């Protein structure tokens, strides 16, 4: 790996670690997911999975299934950046779990050009759709997040 690739990898791991910390804001019990949108090395939006504004912070029904109106972290980050007036054109999305097919469609429409994630979602449909339209999709091994944190004294 060349110098530029190594620097990019280090940035990717750092932003994914930050997205993982951001996921701690989620009230979801089954899976907590965090997302950051970064353009020109600046975080322009963030999100985590949860219920829409005005709803109770309960993501699962009495059987433990995720309620159908729960928003994914990517959708929250994309709608937040749209509401702010910022542009996500050409940005990178860092998300702790790979995007589902619905979020992949939002990512495509938002102009995001790169997606970096660590954990795989139960379906690869979203990743395949992103790759089909030429969006760069990168998976970082979750162990790398912990290793880098240890090296940098964050653990």
User: How far is the CA of 24 from the CAs of 28, 103, 126, in angstroms?
Assistant: 9, 20, 23
One-character DSSP codes across 28-61: -SS---EEEEEETTEEEEEEE-BPPTTS-S--B-
The 10s digit of each residue's pLDDT in 14-72 is 999 999 999 999 999 999 999 999 999 999 999 999 999 999 999 999 999 999 999 99
pLDDT of residue 145: 74
What pTM, to 2 d.p., does this model score?
A: 0.92
For residue 62, the SS3 value is: coil
As annotated, the active-site residues are 74
């Amino acid at each position: 790996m060349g110098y530029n690739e190594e620097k990019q990898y280090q940035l990717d791991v750092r932003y994914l670690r930050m997205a993982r910390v951001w996921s701690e804001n989620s009230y979801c019990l089954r899976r907590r997911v965090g997302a950051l949108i970064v353009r020109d090395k600046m975080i322009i939006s963030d999100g985590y999975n949860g219920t829409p504004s005005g709803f109770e912070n309960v993501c699962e029904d009495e059987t433990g299934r995720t309620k159908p109106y729960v928003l994914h972290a990517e959708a929250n980050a994309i709608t937040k950046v749209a509401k702010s007036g910022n542009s996500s054109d050409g940005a990178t999305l860092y998300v702790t779990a790979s995007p589902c097919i619905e979020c992949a469609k939002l990512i495509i429409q938002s102009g995001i050009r790169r997606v970096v994630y660590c954990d795989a979602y139960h379906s690869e449909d979203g990743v395949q759709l992103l790759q089909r339209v030429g969006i760069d999709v990168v998976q970082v091994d979750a162990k790398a997040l912990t290793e880098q944190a240890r090296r940098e004294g964050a653990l």
